[in-house]
Amino acid sequence: MDNESQLIKQRREKYDKLLAMGIDPYPLRSERTHCIMSLWENEKDFVEKEQEVSVTGRINAKRRQGKIGFLNLQDSTGRVQIFVRNDTVLDDNYELFKLLDLGDFLQVDGKMIRTQTGEYSVLASKLTLLAKNMRPIPTVKEKEVDGKIIRYDEFSDIEIRYRKRYLDLLLNPEHKKVFETRSRIIQGMRDYLNKRAFLEVETPILQPLYGGANARPFITHHNTLDMDLYLRIATELYLKRLVVGGFERVYEIGKNFRNEGMDRTHNPEFTALEVYQAYTDLDGMIDITEGMISTIAQDLFGTQKIDFQGTEINLERPWRKASMLELVKEHTGEDFSNFDLDRLKAFCKAKNIEVDPHAGPGKLIAEIFDTFVEDKLIQPTFVIDYPLEISPLAKNHPDNPNLVERFEVFINGAEYGNAFTELNNPIEQRKRLEHQAKMREMGDDEANVVDEDFLEALDYGMPPMGGLGIGIDRLVMLLTNNVSIKEVILFPQMKPE
């Protein structure tokens, strides 16, 4: 029997002893009067008054010397020492103390004192077991050096951390701060939009057709209706239906699902914000994007200049704006503004850029941008004037029929948001989607599909508007200084063990 199995066996034996003593290892209720942080906030006053308290938490240290013993009890706010003496607790309570293990949840009633060594502690008068730990928790050792706590033998195996996030959070408390910050970022988005009269809404995750992005969907089957459904790849087309219905400012924060590859910036299930505002355009979406992100950074850190992996990122407004063609010329020396297909194909071949043989000039320009420009955009940059070929839901550029009014925002070489002056011409939108359908027939399985219900909604009239999508997971990566998306998703998708 290995060591872990032996320890589990011993805890099961303790469980049986507790039952024999008439103690329920998992009682119905618990009570507490103070969180542990509040004990420390009132330390002097509580000692002078010998304040009676009831605290709860998990045991993370235990030692016993004859008829006295000590525990460290930790809740989500802090840690405190518990002093147990057999003359201040009932006999069966001291027997309970002997059977306690690291990881057990405990309620302690007692008064606040200082021990003979000056340690601020709860002198226990009653111990109540709240939940028996049946599997030993990996040990993370700590020692104090020059007043600082140094941790070693950490729970650091990345694969195990992601698969058993509960242990990661338990043993690496600094990782909890990432998810606390994530919550504050999402709340900051809501606050920013709500103050500007946007309405938060919810749209279907299971959809009879998928759309709003170029991506492969997940497919499922509804047994009662006997029909295939798709997990949404974007919320766009349903949110636009709501604008047709009279809501002028809407947004949704929710999960999207794309049946695609996984890497350090992609997870098949991800969280996105989408925003739609009537009677505005791409400039309105630029204002929201840089305003919201810079405000969130200021609220989180008290500054709009942040460090990401040793690089200072300046989120102060205004951010740079540059066209895709301008940036391609800047980084390759080539001017492709005439959309010459033969010249683009020759350039891609010379540079070993693999391209779809059916791709037009717009798609090739985007491939060249991805290869030569994207990772060079370190400071926040709005890349504007995208090729129409890769932007079927955006309005035409007024000065160039090959382009549309669209931006993607790049920071530190990664894309964080995508926005359009939204196409509201139902005749042009049908033509665009039907072209996408032809691309699908030629093998592009990420092309959009023709959504007849959405096109019917457009026929009723949709006001001019701007639309914006922001990848929340990537934004959290940026603002918590993490290079892997798995560090900012509580339960990322993993390969089977």
Contact 110, 125 (CB under 8 A): yes
Compute the 3-state secondary structure of the chain and give helix, strand, coil in percent, each to the nearest 5: 35, 30, 35
Q: Where in the chain is the domain with CATH 3.30.930.10?
A: 175-319+379-487
Homologous superfamily in CATH for domain 3-137: Nucleic acid-binding proteins (2.40.50.140)
Question: What CA–CA distance (Å, rounded) separates 391 from 426?
Answer: 15
Question: What CA–CA distance (Å, rounded) separates 75 from 234?
Answer: 39
Task: State in words which class domain 175-319+379-487 has.
Answer: alpha beta
Question: What CA–CA distance (Å, rounded) separates 422 from 430?
Answer: 14
Question: What CA–CA distance (Å, rounded) separates 280 from 384?
Answer: 16
Q: Where in the chain is the domain with CATH 2.40.50.140?
A: 3-137
Residues ≥6 apart with Cβ < 8 Å to 475:
185, 293, 416
Helix (H, G, I), strand (E, B) or coil at 356: coil
The DSSP annotation for 209-258 comes to S--SSS-PPPEEEETTTTEEEEE-S-SHHHHHHHHHTT-SEEEEEEEEE-
Give the largest CA-CA distance in the chain. 92
Q: 402-424: string of b/e by CB count within 10 Å (b at 16+)? A: bbbbbbbbbbbebbbbbbbbbbb
Question: What CA–CA distance (Å, rounded) separates 47 from 463?
Answer: 67
Question: What CA–CA distance (Å, rounded) separates 288 from 221?
Answer: 38
The DSSP annotation for 290-329 comes to HHHHHHHHHHHHSSSEEEETTEEEE-PSSPEEEEHHHHHH
Q: Which residue has the tokens 């530190």?
A: 412
Residues 193, 182, 380, 471, CA torsion sign: negative
Q: Would you write out the chain's pLDDT as a tens digit for each of its 497 residues?
A: 677 889 999 999 999 999 999 999 999 999 999 999 999 999 999 999 999 999 999 999 999 988 899 999 999 999 999 999 988 988 789 999 999 999 999 999 999 999 999 999 999 999 999 999 999 888 766 666 676 665 555 677 888 899 999 999 988 888 999 999 999 999 999 999 999 999 999 999 999 999 888 889 999 999 999 999 999 999 999 999 999 999 999 999 999 999 998 999 999 999 999 999 999 999 999 999 999 999 999 999 999 999 999 999 999 999 999 999 999 999 999 999 999 999 999 999 999 999 888 899 999 999 999 999 999 999 999 999 999 999 999 999 999 999 999 999 999 999 999 999 999 999 999 999 998 888 888 877 777 888 999 999 999 999 999 999 999 999 999 999 999 999 999 999 998 87
If phi > 0 it is left, if psi is from -120 to 50 it is alpha, else beta; for residue 461 that is left
Nearest C-alpha neighbor of 469 from the set 298, 185, 271: 271
